[in-house]
Structure 1
Amino acid sequence: MTSKLESTVALVTGASSGIGRAAALRLAEEGASVVLVGRRAARVREVADLVTRQGGKALAIPADVTVADAAASVVRDVVETHGRLDIVVNAAGAMLNGDSIRATLDEWDQMVDVNVKGTMYVVKAALPHLLEAAESAERQVADVINISSVAGRVATAGVAIYNASKFGVTAATEAWRQEFGDRNLRFSVIEPGAVDTELFGHQQGHAQEAENQRFEGVEKLHPEDIADAVAYIATSPRRRAINEIVIRPTDQNF
């Protein structure tokens, strides 16, 4: 049986861990050649090696997509190596929540840089190649899948800048969807609730305690749950565009 994404090339940011890692592995299972991008060189190479051992095709490109030139260089390298780009998954993320008085501007800047600017820089660089793929590829469609959050739908005390960054991702994705849908370039946003990733451990100590209390008794999602949604979007036939997916743990009622 032919894999649904055979002959496609997928670029995944934040691929060293969590949702990005799971998404890259899942897309490789579907037959895509995956390009794994992340700041932690050793970690991205480990994931690429895992894809290869499992019979897939992978290329690791260590890079910081919060730097516009670096993001553009990544896209350029992908196209020079593979000759095309069909799918982009923006999964790089930063979550540094906590009391706004105690928070530093560096923490706030980091969330905006990673969540908003990183997504923006990758999309800007990838657009011409994605549109070319949508026009010329056998699938007759290309995809950008942005990982937002339920925090991009509902604001919460202590989460102001993370809320702002994820609301921005959700809004930009919808605007791009309207702009490029008639050219067969689909933009989709996935908004997960609590996912068991290392992001929770990056927050201020008091914020971690508050989050632990808030999510007490909640069985968090696994990164693979979000990767399944990524695969569902990317393998959908051209006629079907999945604009938005919200995924919460069954126990999460907020």
Structure 2
Amino acid sequence: MKNAEKLNGTVALITGASSGIGQATAIRLADLGANVALVARRQDRLESLANRIAAAGGTALVIAADITDSHEAEHVVDQVIERFGRLDTLVNAAGLMLNGPSVESPLEEWDRMVDVNLRGLMYLTKQALPHLLQAVTSSPRAVADVVNISSVAGRIAAPQVAIYNATKFAVTAATEAWRQEFTKQSLRFSVIEPGATATELFEQKDGQWEGFTSMFGEVERLHAEDIADAAAFIVTNPRRVAINEIVVRPTDQP
């Protein structure tokens, strides 16, 4: 896009940064000049990613945390502000998918999806809001962004996907409600809804990819970098342009 802006001098916080879409987005935003805060539970993977970003000339802060704990989420944002003094972009990419027959599925798995997909996103967003609004007033770009990674499962329900559907419908709805609330303050809220993507999401529970192929056939899945490109497109637009929602499906996925 010819009007895309570089992110030099800005700070981006990315959850789920230890793998998949979060990792790819962190690399992409760092390439565009942002200082990036990498948040996930697996510190070794975060350290490896931070080294990769540093080797490419970027700056990364590693924060190993469980954002499903509201106090840890608060501490994450505090560490970002302590290190960088600002926060311009929040990408909520942490996600968990544990689908299967509802009768057999353990209640613990449902709780975990609600905790990661919804509560973690909610806690980080709540803590980040004052700093994002402050960044609007002090940035030459005069805008800040929250990008939430939902799913096509946040648009269309399917059997054996009830709780994952519920969390992703909630993410999509909350993003739109926040968009309306903060649009006059130049804080943009956007949601990306990927289809089948080649990440660890399908590996989080045995049989999930087989269940997907039984419904849709063998499709060529998206790459995490495809979704990272969508996130970069959103946040590099000038202040006048707000991308509210992006749906990205594999070409072969119905």
Q: Per the shorter chain, which TM-score range?
A: over 0.9
Q: Which residue of 1 aligns with 2:212?
A: 211
| Partner-residue secondary structure (3-state), 1:73 | helix
Q: Which residue of 1 aligns with 2:253?
A: 252
Map Cα deviations across residues 2-49 of structure 1 (whole Å, 9 max, x no partner): 970000000000000000000000000100000000001101111111
Note if contact 1:98-1:204 (Cα within 8 Å) is conserved in structure 2. Answer: no
Unaligned runs of 5+ in 2: none
Is 1:220 paired with 2:221? yes
Is 1:232 paired with 2:233? yes
Q: Which residue of 1 aligns with 2:48?
A: 46
Q: Which residue of 1 aligns with 2:202?
A: 200
| Partner-residue secondary structure (3-state), 1:98 | coil
Match of residue 150, structure 2, among 127, 148, 151: 148
Match of residue 133, structure 1, among 132, 135, 151: 135
Measured after TM superposition, the shift of residue 209 of structure 1 is 2.3
Number of residue pairs aligned between Structure 1 and Structure 2:
251
Note if contact 2:154-2:165 (Cα within 8 Å) is conserved in structure 1. Answer: yes
Match of residue 118, structure 1, among 96, 117, 120: 120
**TM-score under structure 2 length normalisation:** 0.97
Map Cα deviations across residues 61-109 of structure 1 (whole Å, 9 max, x no partner): 1001111000110001100110000000000000000100110111000
Match of residue 182, structure 1, among 156, 181, 184: 184
Note if contact 2:38-2:46 (Cα within 8 Å) is conserved in structure 1. Answer: yes
C-alpha distance in structure 1 between counterparts of 2:245 and 2:164, whole Å: 19
Identity of aligned residues (%): 61
Measured after TM superposition, the shift of residue 215 of structure 1 is 4.3
Note if contact 1:133-1:141 (Cα within 8 Å) is conserved in structure 2. Answer: yes
Unaligned runs of 5+ in 1: none
Q: Which residue of 2 aligns with 1:32?
A: 34
Which residue type is aligned with residue 210 of structure 2? Answer: E
Q: Which residue of 1 aligns with 2:61?
A: 59
Note if contact 1:10-1:32 (Cα within 8 Å) is conserved in structure 2. Answer: yes
| Partner-residue secondary structure (3-state), 1:128 | helix
Q: Which residue of 2 aligns with 1:242?
A: 243
Note if contact 2:92-2:148 (Cα within 8 Å) is conserved in structure 1. Answer: yes
